[in-house]
Amino acid sequence: MSPQKTVVVTGLGIVSALGTGKDIFWENIVAGKNGIADITQFDASGMPSRFAAEVKDFNPESFMDRKDARRRDRNIQFAVGAARMAWQDSGLDIAAEDPSRIGTLIGSGIGGISTFESNFTAYLNKGHKGVSPFFIPMLISNMASGTVSIELGLKGPSYAVVSACATSTHTIGVAVDTIRLGKADVILAGGTEAAITPAAVSGFCALHALSTRNDDPAHASRPFDKQRDGFIMGEGAAILVLESLEHALARKARIYAVLAGSAATSDAHHITAPDPEGQGAAAAMRLALQDAGLNPEDVDYINAHGTSTPLGDPAEIKAIKNVFGEHAYKLAVSSTKSMIGHALGATGALETAICIFALNTGIIPPTINYEYPDPDCDLNFVPNVAVKQNIRAAVNNSFGFGGQNSVVVLKKYEG
């Protein structure tokens, strides 16, 4: 068997509540800006939770023509925009590549739910003639990958991974394995989500999963803080260009980081609640470190799943302590969901991008709104202000409904 290929990151594209484009996104993350405010996409005035982390500055016509934009759900628009930015950032030229060796693996936890809502309403009002011929292509979760492959002419593996809030971290792990196995040279991998809709928000409200701090949205997302009361819906997309180190060096690409390891496990516990002891999460972290060839002491930063929920946050802390032991107290552990909310299927890719920026800049982003320490959550959460620190390796945790856990490990590129 041939040696396993090293996988590196050579391009980034971001659509988020803190800006469209990687530079403005990272600038606002480091500054501790808050992207959470009252919902504007629909009238949420009668809902228990009336705020979210909306993408405000995205113009689809900057990335596609108007007709195509109308025929694409918002989550697909985000994916195309992020993919085009990542492709440009990578410096790849399709004319110089074998398109059959370049794949697109882009996941969405929920897919085209706004399309579903609008077409179901049209069906109720007008019958089958009210339903758009683009309803199904706009709805299905694989269409972000399919559309990006069509737009960029990429003919390698193309499909979607779906695992709720672990979706895009799982996707990145699958993409890494695909390149390692020699089944592709380059993969555009990540996630996209646009689920700030009446039905989706109502559904999460019915689960009592969302914060109801309607009088103070800017301070509602407070991971690991004793007064946390639920997560905040977000949206956006992040696409990473992953390629074999051999391929990247051959074309003299700029390399952001090494995607060193990944792992996936299941809690086998409950459809929405995490294992309270964090055993599945701990197993995923331990296996990802093993896959990366690293010891716990080699890690300096964890971008936590940290959703700001009463059950989820302490379970994750137990998992971290289980894996890292005393070293857990030397780690920087921050949750950037405090700024960009929880973008569901896109969140893992957004947070993996944050780990990449942290490795490259030596800046660890903060957990904002951290005011009241919780004795069950007693690690260094980088409270409220970013810090400078050399980072050798970083871990990104993502845990989804269904008990599905995914973890990726990144290392600084020392080439």
Domain-located, residue 415: no
Q: Are residues 83 and 150 in the same domain?
A: yes
pLDDT tens column, 105-130? 999 999 999 999 999 999 999 999 99
Q: Are residues 60 and 198 in the same domain?
A: yes
CA distance 175 to 155: 15
Q: Check if 305 is active-site.
A: yes
Q: Are residues 146 and 230 in the same domain?
A: yes
- CATH number, position 311: 3.40.47.10
pLDDT tens digit at each of 415 positions of the chain: 456 899 999 999 999 999 999 999 999 999 999 999 999 999 999 999 999 999 999 999 999 999 999 999 999 999 999 999 999 999 999 999 999 999 999 999 999 999 999 999 999 999 999 999 999 999 999 999 999 999 999 999 999 999 999 999 999 999 999 999 999 999 999 999 999 999 999 999 999 999 999 999 999 999 999 999 999 999 999 999 999 999 999 999 999 999 999 999 999 999 999 999 999 999 999 999 999 999 999 999 999 999 999 999 999 999 999 999 999 999 999 999 999 999 999 999 999 999 999 999 999 999 999 999 999 999 999 999 999 999 999 999 999 999 999 999 999 999 8
Domain-located, residue 138: yes
Domain-located, residue 182: yes
Catalytic entry in 165, 205, 355, 377: 165
Domain-located, residue 414: no
385: left (phi over 0), alpha (psi -120 to 50) or beta: beta
Domain-located, residue 256: no
Q: Are residues 138 and 212 in the same domain?
A: yes
Q: Check if 269 is active-site.
A: no
Tell me the angle at which helices 312-324 and 279-292 cross, rounded to the nearest 10 degrees.
40
Q: Give Dmax (Cα) for the chain.
A: 63
Total of domains in the chain: 2
Q: Output the CA torsion 261→100→72→189 (10° steps).
A: 10
Q: Which domain holds residue 100?
A: 7-250
CA distance 192 to 172: 13
Domain-located, residue 1: no
Question: Domain end: 218, 250, 282, which one?
Answer: 250
CA distance 350 to 236: 8
DSSP states of 285-350? HHHHHHHHT--GGG--EEE------TTHHHHHHHHHHHHHGGGGGGSEEE-THHHH-B-GGGHHHH
Q: Which residues pair with 193 in a beta bridge?
A: 236
Question: Domain end: 250, 280, 299, which one?
Answer: 250
Q: Are residues 316 and 194 in the same domain?
A: no
pTM: 0.97
Q: Residue 301: what residue type?
A: Y
pLDDT tens column, 340-378? 999 999 999 999 999 999 999 999 999 999 999 999 999
Catalytic entry in 170, 205, 305, 377: 305
Domain-located, residue 223: yes
Q: Are residues 178 and 51 in the same domain?
A: yes
Q: Are residues 145 and 30 in the same domain?
A: yes
Q: Are residues 231 and 299 in the same domain?
A: no
Q: Are residues 232 and 280 in the same domain?
A: no
Question: Domain end: 186, 220, 250, which one?
Answer: 250
Under 8 Å between Cβ of 334 and 381: yes
Catalytic entry in 170, 205, 247, 342: 342
Q: Are residues 358 and 231 in the same domain?
A: no
Domain-located, residue 400: yes
pLDDT tens column, 59-93? 999 999 999 999 999 999 999 999 999 999 999 99
Q: Check if 128 is active-site.
A: no
Q: Are residues 222 and 334 in the same domain?
A: no
Q: Are residues 268 and 207 in the same domain?
A: no
